[in-house]
Structure 1
Amino acid sequence: MRFQVLGPVIVRDETGASVSLRGPRYRAVLARLIVARRRVVPVTRLADDLWDEPPADAVGAIRTFVAGLRRALEPDRPPRTPARLLVTEGPGYALRAEPDAVDAWRFDDTVRAAADLPAAQAVCVLTEALSWWHGPAYADFADEAWARAERSRLTEQRLLAVERRAEAQLSIGAAGAAVPDLDAHVAEHPWREDAWRLLATALYGSGRQADALAVVGRARRMLAEHMGIDPGPRLRRLEQDLLLQSEHLDPGAADPTAQVWEQARAAYDSAVPARTGRRLESAAGLMRDLAVTGGGGLAAARRHRIAAVAAADELGDPALTARVIGIYDVPAIWTRSDDPAQDRRLVDIAEKTLRRLPDHGDADRARLLATIAVESRGMLPAEHPSESGLRPLRAARQAEQIARRLRDPSLLVFALNGVFMQSFQRAGLAPRRDALGAEVLTVAASNNLATYEVLGHLIRLQARCALADYRGADRHAAAADALALRHELPLVTVFTAWYRALRTAVAKDLAAAEAAYERAATTLDGAGMPGLEHGLLPLARLSLYLRHHEAERIATMDPHTDWGPYTPWVRPVLFVARGEIDRARMALRHLGSPPRDLLFETLWAVVAHAAVAVDDAAVMRRAHTQLSPAIDETTAQSGLLGVGPVRAYLADLESALSRHPAQRSRSRRPGRGQRPADDHT
């Protein structure tokens, strides 16, 4: 749930839809708990805040409000289970929302963080933060005493953010962009001398010296007439500097990049009307460029991209929606989604648009199909196929066919990216992905498609790791790093840093590999890739200990470690290492298949290790069936970590299964090219 209080109080679910909060008292309770910022508000205090004279049944009424809010905020919570969001604690209630779930809390954190950012980045961050305001804070409760102090504080924070953004704009030479907002700012808040000073400086930086001096004069008259005071020393100094044309007044004037950006922005704003499809297409294009900057840029790009797609969908023009979706052809290398709910929503809109699109729009159709394939990453059926699970695979193939027919290089590499994301139907497909990466690399290099040239190198890096060709992988890592440096693509180093940690692990230096993985993990800090980050470092440590047969180290791993999405397949090995054999057997008994993605072989090998240790023949047979097609590969197909050659785990499984004579025939390897028994795709 996302909570908006910078304007009317609104709650939105993961799809962005508004959540019904029933009557005003319900909203007031929620708003009061948000004001408390995760602290407990006693029931007696709530009663005093909600009513001038609390009724006799105030406590019962508040319980009713809280119960209704809980149903709205946690609609899927099973009956009689404790609430996780709106909790009862001691004498009252608290809203335990995450820090980024409430726009006001997020705004505070963003304004604070912007003070330490480079000016150009601060402008972007503060501009986005100011866009979260949709009216006065807690607009529904302007007359409530309990909201007054918080509303005043947030208002002051917003004014500070406007002025800090203007200062950052001035420092990069974007004075013209600062003028309109500052003009409105001083009109609304004429007592803020810093606002007058910044407006005069921005006007001067825009080549309007006379206007700048006139603004200082207006400020002087306003202060004298209404407050009976003279301007402060900073405003008086500025007036002198304007008359002397001091150089320090326009520090960014020599920055051609800032000047070009500002001129282009102004020209676009004047030439392209607001509320047009062209603006949505431009926004999607900007988000495509923003995504490859990493960190906050990637997270913001994902958020604004889905907003642009949703806005296009609301306009009801399928051709426009198709273009807005298809423009965002950002290469994808990792097979686990960063935001599954958002990706499902995007895929739903793309599929709906595809059904409505005229038959003659082949290029748009191919981009929609490729988008469905890319954004459905990790959705291949684990063991039991379904129609919905196979649709992305067919979409990838159809996109590729159309792209080849149209002979469009940029469309082809986008479609091949979708094919790559759906190329995990079974283990042992590294050679196929290597050929796919080679084609992406050739097409991209021949057509100056730098981001896809990097993608080709990273796909081949992964494939060469799976095939134990680490020298080949070294060459692709070096080439990807060189391209990343030349084209300012910082996220590439995340993958190459983790690859080099894997390389250290392969060299059998355990201590050095542990240190390398610790360093690699720092590249994920702020990278904006939760689908990659969550649980990866502990899994890398476990892979090292399995590779080096360090069972004692596995036994000493912190039992409270967050293994993220890998928990079900890791848990049996941890139990085995601690000697908890019965718990390991229980964990294996109902274990499903890991997702068909870059860690498929690794996780099956981990499961195989545990199954052999507890002599679970059924799981050993499943593991053998799944791993057999990759007998000539390693488990390092992710290019980030691995637990050794697949052949070694198959040998252990066969040796253990030989003690189960009735099952020997069922453990034989499939022949070359034969699919495993439960591969339905």
Structure 2
Amino acid sequence: MDGVPRVPEQWDPEESVALRFSVLGPVRAWRGAQALPTGSPQQRALLAALLLREGRTATSGELIDALWGDDPPSQALAAVRTYASRLRKILSPGVLVSESGGYAIRLTDASGGGATLDLALAQELAADAEKAKSRGDLCHARALLNKTLSLWDGEVLASVPGPYAETQRTRLQEWKLQLTESRLDMDLEQGCHAEAVSELTALTAAHPLRERLRELLMLALYRSGRQAEALAAYADTRRLLADELGVDPSPDLQELQQRILRADPGLAEPSAPLAPETAAAPVRPAQLPATVPDFTGRTSFVSELCEVLASAEGRVMAVSALA
């Protein structure tokens, strides 16, 4: 499209300003820099349910289940229609559509424009980070993961009711933890073990049964010269798993403990540089300077040498030594 309205009297200047949605925190919407009202908790739950379907249509029955589960109110269908009508008035035309007896939010219209969602951006960044990691560019992958994690803004779907929101909240928080573990693993691979200890200590306290975090903490402590604390972290983990679940630590965690006990040299150093390799410096010549054609600055010595050589007068050549 060339940006010229087809029918001037139908053109709305607000249509040219992109919509933005967020679900990695409170459910919110903006038109440009202007925050839009998203209504009651149930109306935000409807908006979140549609956004998280990534453009797929949700039937009225699915939306009723998402908002109220097995105990919907008697006027649940009318409520869903009311929420959808209110959202349609708030959003740009063509974003919330009705089709096949349900509703959908179209983040991209036929011309390629439309709205953006923080979750979709996070998925793109995470995919790019995985590609960078597969190429061996851990520095760039780590930066992309940090950018991905910065999109979270507190609790996912904060204050949004309903069983669907609860399920999605758990799923997205788990995904965030997986991304955090991947980024911390890259931190350790790039020599940032001392900086990672404090973050890992807080995360293991918040998620005490997550063995991957315990493993990373032990490695970060060991590489920071804190072998005794790394072994103490393993002992705490073993005791906690036995008390809470009646199980032993995973084989990976047990192997790490044994490697720490014997001070395995393979644990001491990261396997990747902190920064990407720079271009090789140009080769500089390493040769001696060129020979000078004659002596300089020693006029008296040159004169004396000339007299010695001239005094030979055809006889045996005089030999002189210079130091």
How far residue 221 of structure 1 moved from its aligned partner, in angstroms, is: 1.3
Mapped contact 2:146–2:183 kept (Cα < 8 A): yes
C-alpha contact 2:189 2:272 (8 A) present in aligned 1: no
Equivalent residue number for residue 96 of structure 1: 106
Go from structure 1 to structure 2 and tell me whether the alpha carbon gap of 1:64 and 1:226 turns closer, same or farther (over 3 Å shift).
Answer: closer
Give the secondary-structure state (helix, strand or coil) at the position aligned to 2:21.
strand
Q: Which has the higher contact order (CA 8 A, sep 6+)?
A: 2
Is 1:224 the equivalent of 2:242?
yes
1:190 aligned counterpart, secondary structure: coil
Q: Name the structure 2 match of 1:26.
A: 43
- For residue 103 of structure 1, report the CA deviation from its aligned partner: 1.8
1:84 maps to 2:97: no
User: 2: CA distance between counterparts of 1:485 and 1:253?
Assistant: 20
Alignment pair present for 1:195 and 2:180: no
**Shift in Å at residue 132 of structure 1?**
1.6
Which residue identity lines up with residue 66 of structure 1 in the other structure? A
Separation (CA, whole Å) in 1 of partners of 2:268 and 2:184: 13
Greater share of helix: 1
Amino acid paired to 2:151: W
- Name the amino acid aligned to 2:170: S
**Is 1:63 aligned with 2:73?**
no
2:129 pairs with 1:111: no
What displacement does 1:234 show? 0.6
Q: Structure 1 residues 230, 62: closer, same or farther in 2, change over 3 A?
A: closer
Separation in 1 of the partners of 2:188 and 2:200?
Answer: 12
Any conservation in 2 of the 1:47–1:54 contact (CA below 8 Å)? no
Equivalent residue for 2:186, pick from 165, 168, 177: 168
Distance across 2 between alignment mates of 1:178 and 1:48:
42
- Pick from 161, 168, 176 the counterpart of residue 158 of structure 1: 176
Alpha carbons of structure 1 residues 133 and 191: separation in structure 2 relative to 1, 3 Å: same
Q: Is the contact between residue 66 and residue 165 of structure 2 (CA under 8 Å) also seen in structure 1?
A: no
SS in 2 for 1:229: coil
SS in 1 for 2:238: helix
Question: C-alpha root-mean-square deviation of aligned residues, in Å?
Answer: 2.7
Secondary structure of the residue that 1:115 maps to in structure 2?
Answer: helix
| Count of matched residue pairs | 251
Q: Which runs of no fewer than 5 residues in structure 1 stay unpaired?
A: 75-82, 262-483, 488-681
State yes or no: 1:136 paired with 2:155: yes
For the residues of structure 2 that align with 1:164 and 1:5, how far apart are their CA atoms?
22
8 Å CA contact 1:120, 1:169 repeated in 2: no
- Following TM superposition, by how much is the alpha carbon of 1:60 offset from its aligned partner in structure 2, in angstroms? 4.1
**Cα offset, 1:59, TM superposition:** 3.9
Q: Distance in 1 between matches of 2:181 and 2:104?
A: 34
Letter paired with 2:42? R
Offset at 1:146?
1.6
Q: Does 1:145 align with 2:163?
A: yes
Tell me if 1:243 matches 2:255: no
Runs of 4+ in structure 1 off by over 4 angstroms are: 484-487
- Could you tell me how far 1:186 is from its partner in structure 2? 0.9
1:135 alignment partner AA = G
1:356-367 map, 5 Å: none
Structure showing the higher strand proportion among its residues: 2
How far apart, CA to CA, are the structure 1 residues paired with 2:242 and 2:187? Answer: 30
Structure 2: where are the runs of 5+ without partners?
A: 1-18, 109-113, 282-323
2:196 matches 1:181: no
Change in CA separation of 1:100 and 1:59 when aligned onto 2, cut-off 3 Å:
closer
Q: Structure 1 residue 248: deviation in Å?
A: 2.4
1:38 Cα deviation (Å)? Answer: 1.4
TM-score (norm 2): 0.70
**Counterpart-to-counterpart distance in 1, 2:183 and 2:65:** 40
Is the deviation greater in 246-255 or in 150-159?
A: 246-255
Task: Confirm or deny: 8 A CA contact 2:54 2:105 kept in the other structure.
Answer: yes
What do the CA deviations read for 1:456-493 (whole angstroms, capped 9, x no partner)?
xxxxxxxxxxxxxxxxxxxxxxxxxxxx9799xxxxxx
- Aligned equivalents of 2:130 and 2:20: distance in 1? 25
Q: Matches of residues 595-634 of structure 1 in structure 2 within 5 Å?
A: none
* Contact 1:85–1:97 (CA under 8 A) maintained in structure 2: yes
